[in-house]
Amino acid sequence: MKATSETRPRPQHLEAKDVAHLVGDLEHATIAAILATGATYAEIEQALKWLGGGHEEPRLNSEGLSPTAEIVYDILLADPAYDEDSDQ
């Protein structure tokens, strides 16, 4: 019998400490908002990469930014800690 379903690794369930490890010590509301997106570790890293590129980076998904990573990007961009860091 031939297998019809692919075997893919399941996304890991992230906890607040996992998100804080990636994004730093942010407000609880920011970390909770990121957790609510269901983002994976890789999607959060992708959002951080774009955030590090500056506000002038194009928002089109030319680099394959996933919709969830884009939401995380917007959440981080709205956090005062990241807004202050990007101005320095």
Establish if 4 belongs to a structural domain: no
Q: What is the mean pLDDT of the chain?
A: 79
Mean pLDDT, residues 18-24 taken together: 93
Establish if 39 belongs to a structural domain: yes
Establish if 9 belongs to a structural domain: no
Judged against a pLDDT cut of 60, whether residue 7 lies above it is answered with: no
Provide the whole-model pTM: 0.72
Instruction: Tell me which residue of 32, 68, 35, 36 sits closest to 50, measured CA to CA.
Output: 68
Establish if 2 belongs to a structural domain: no
Establish if 51 belongs to a structural domain: yes
Counting the structural domains of the chain, the total is 1
Each as own residue / partner, the long-range contacts of residues 5-14 (CB below 8 Å, 24 or more positions apart, any chain) are: 11/38, 11/40, 12/40, 12/41, 14/39, 14/40, 14/41, 14/44
Establish if 24 belongs to a structural domain: yes
Please report the pLDDT score of residue 28 as a whole number: 93
pLDDT digits (tens, 9 = 90+) for 32-65: 999 999 999 999 999 998 888 765 555 555 566 7
Q: Which domain holds residue 59?
A: 16-87
